[in-house]
Amino acid sequence: MKNLHNSVMINEIISFLPLKKSINVIDATFGGGGYSKTILEKFNVNQLLAIDRDPISKIFAKEIESKFSNFILINDKFSRIEEIVSNTKFKDKKFDIILFDIGTSSNQIDNAQRGFSFNKSGPLDMRMGASDKNAYDIINNYEEKNLAEIIYQYGEERYSRVIAKEIVKNRKIKFISDTIELSNIIKKCLPKKNQLKNKIHPATKTFQAIRIYVNDELSELKTSLEKTLKILNKDGLILVVSFQSLEDRIVKDFFNHNSGKRWRSSRHYPELPDKLATQLKIITKKPILPSASEILENPRSRSAKLRVAQKI
């Protein structure tokens, strides 16, 4: 299987890594392995632990495993980052660099059978790896109110109620089993003038919402960010690339809270206590965005935002 994923902002990522120092690295979202490979090739890596919940990542890890004995991939969720460290040879080790490049990889989106794409016909699945939910079950069995809430909360879709109603109406006639079928149902719900004005496909937000819900993506991120604090070395860096505002706000709130910049929990992150000990220093005051040339070459990078913080 060929790796179809173009790593996003790799040059910006590596610009933060120390050139000479021996480093322990976690690539928490291995994907096609672009970040891991570049870091192993260019830096003085003591150990690199890669994590990905998708079993296909094992295929892309093979080549790296054969070249680098200081590399290991664990097929698991990054919310278990601390447990993964303590169950492997890394027990008692601390890390200098922890990387997250969250969301889906092109290897997932471009495979119609995975059901992530509203442009390609495929089964309604959307699981990134083992998950107790899938898109078919949600679309065909969840109550209308519940569906609308998911679409609003995780997709920030203002037509969530209309879309949920239309889904329920259609599934009474026939189960909705295909991505294009769902995409066409959603398309009917958005006003024409809105569709002409917006640059994004009308199904973008709803598909994003279902995917986030199926994979519990926001809780995954919150849990793992908390755990990184326990396994980072002093002066170690957390680097996070996110692709949509819900995730970016979580990263921003987490960094702000742990750096003493903000004391109150936020709407997007109510779990954060009102006061936290200062453990981080924010390195990127504003998120770093991909260059115009990267966006031109790889349009999927256009919504990426990189934030970096350092353990103090």
Ligand X SMILES: C[S@@+](CC[C@H](N)C(=O)[O-])C[C@H]1O[C@@H](n2cnc3c(N)ncnc32)[C@H](O)[C@@H]1O
Q: Is 154 in the site for ligand X (CB under 6 A)?
A: no
Q: Is 247 in the site for ligand X (CB under 6 A)?
A: no
Q: What is the C-alpha separation between 16 and 206, in angstroms, rounded?
A: 35
Short-list 129, 115, 123, CA closest to 207: 115
Which of the residues 176 through 235 are near ligand X (CB under 6 A)? 220
Nearest residue to the partner ligand X, using Cβ: 31
Q: Is 307 in the site for ligand X (CB under 6 A)?
A: no
Q: What is the C-alpha separation between 28 and 198, in angstroms, rounded?
A: 33
Which of the residues 86 through 115 are near ligand X (CB under 6 A)? 101-105
Please, which residue, 51 or 229, has the CB nearer to ligand X?
A: 51
Q: Is 248 in the site for ligand X (CB under 6 A)?
A: no
Q: Is 29 in the site for ligand X (CB under 6 A)?
A: yes
Selected range binding ligand X among 27-35, 148-156, 232-240, 282-290, rule: CB under 6 A? 27-35
Selected range binding ligand X among 25-33, 111-119, 201-209, 250-258, rule: CB under 6 A? 25-33
Please, which residue, 81 or 148, has the CB nearer to ligand X?
A: 81
Alpha-carbon distances of 261 from 50, 179, 256, 265, 300, rounded to whole Å: 31, 43, 5, 12, 32
Short-list 53, 57, 78, 211, CA closest to 129: 53
Which of the residues 112 through 151 are near ligand X (CB under 6 A)? 128
> Per DSSP, what are the bridge partners of residue 306?
241, 288
* Residue 144: half-sphere exposure toward Cβ, Cα within 13 Å: 12
* Encoded tokens for 258: 């742990």
Binding site for ligand X (CB under 6 A): 5, 7, 29, 31-35, 51-54, 57, 77-79, 101-105, 128, 220
